[in-house]
Structure 1
Amino acid sequence: MVQISKLVDDCDARLDAAAIADFCPNGLQVAGRDDVRRLVSGVTASTALLDAALACEADAVLVHHGYFWKGEDARIVGMKAARIRRLIRHDVSLIAYHLPLDVHPELGNNACLAEVLGVPSPAREPAMGVAGLLWHGALAEALNADALAARIGEALQRPPVHVGDGPARIRRIAWCSGGAQKLLPQAAALGVDAFVSGEISEQTTHEARELGVHYFAAGHHATERGGVQALGRWLAQRHGLEHRFIDIDNPA
């Protein structure tokens, strides 16, 4: 058992959250009971995840995608009100970390993708004003596009969308979890053969073809399952908590 304030302080320190400008508040977003024994983690604080967490009698919910995004309607009405009402009625806390959980060199989404992709000792570059957001490195052995797509699909349980006209053998790759398809030109400038992210836009296909690289859209949700699980496991080991990751299916 641990107090929620201690839990959040530990996360803040481990992820260096205060040093990263973000599109939402990181840390404790909705305060519940003081003591935490059971922690549920998930990618997005949807109603389905909250209901599953309540069924598990969780004291706190840890997510990558929480609430109160920059530019959204600040009023707590409609769907947002229904979600927050669930948490408050049951005295359950919501903890969320966005960019700090993308860039962390050990627990982050991109660190987890490095293991999936099989890239030892990756390098990190600044992107969109965030230090260490774009990762790149060399595969242990070169693969063709079909083989890399199969590796990604098996690891993330979702076949990626593959576009582009890259080299026949892929050795150097770059990646960024989530909706980072806009980083494709920056990744290509690093001289990579392929770029992996979560989403694809209309222009992404044309960019990949014209830049001469492969692009793999592996799913926003799928590429961001790793970090929140890693952080949840770290908290469970540190504080003796019960931790369960609940995966709410999302094909996007």
Structure 2
Amino acid sequence: MKQSSIVVKKTLVDRYYIFSYYIEINDFKILINTGFSEHVKPSTDLKTLKLFQRQDYKVYETLPSQLLKDHIHPDEIDYCIITNFASHHVGYLNAFKNATFITSNEAYHDFITQQVSNNNLQLSFLVKPDNFKDRIEFVEDFVQTDHPILGKGYKIFNNDALISYELPGAMPGQIGIMLKFKDFNIFMCSDAAWCRSNLEKNLLPTKKLLKQAHNGELFIDTHDKLIDLKLESDRQLFVIPSHCKKMDDFEKVMKILDAIK
């Protein structure tokens, strides 16, 4: 069997606190989430936008234009893995005309039935492609695996290099993505933790985050699992959330990713 390789490139400018990652596995060009865009903020009255403003979100350049700078045309993207359907994770969903979207059954169902609107994230529908339903694949359709801490997971493309795990609590059907490298692993935990320093200092989510979460109790359980994961990993592991408060460890994370060849 051909050994899988993963290439990770930073695809968003430093001022972004919500990430989209570009990776390559064999011949597949893959995005994990499609980031925040101007398309999901038509009104300054929206609570989500006010959160963005407090966190100093600024769109200096679009994700598609930055991919083009890396000589990757948006039409070349084969897959977009969506960890949850918060509007700031799917900002350029309709920019990738030929991509198949991979997500969990629960996240998809919540999104397509507009249940996500209960979380003030209905703006996601502004970027939903017309043929969205025809381009969906579910992580549950891949080979199942089990992790002693994270529990049930699925080998995306039936390959050990990329595994999704359920991370319940923050958003319906949320998943995290484990990238397995030769000497270490990276776990992209989506919104299951606000920043890496919270995990390192064993700090639980704030009351405000718990109140806004889809299920506060599950949010705490998942957060505890991430702490256990980091403590009990048998190899070097970097847990990377989608959000970091003022990106207190941004440089460290970027050095890790930029060092990957």
Fold agreement, TM-score > 0.5: no
TM-score (norm 1): 0.28
Higher RCO by CA contacts (8 Å cutoff, separation 6 or greater): 1
Higher Rg? 1
TM-score (norm 2): 0.28
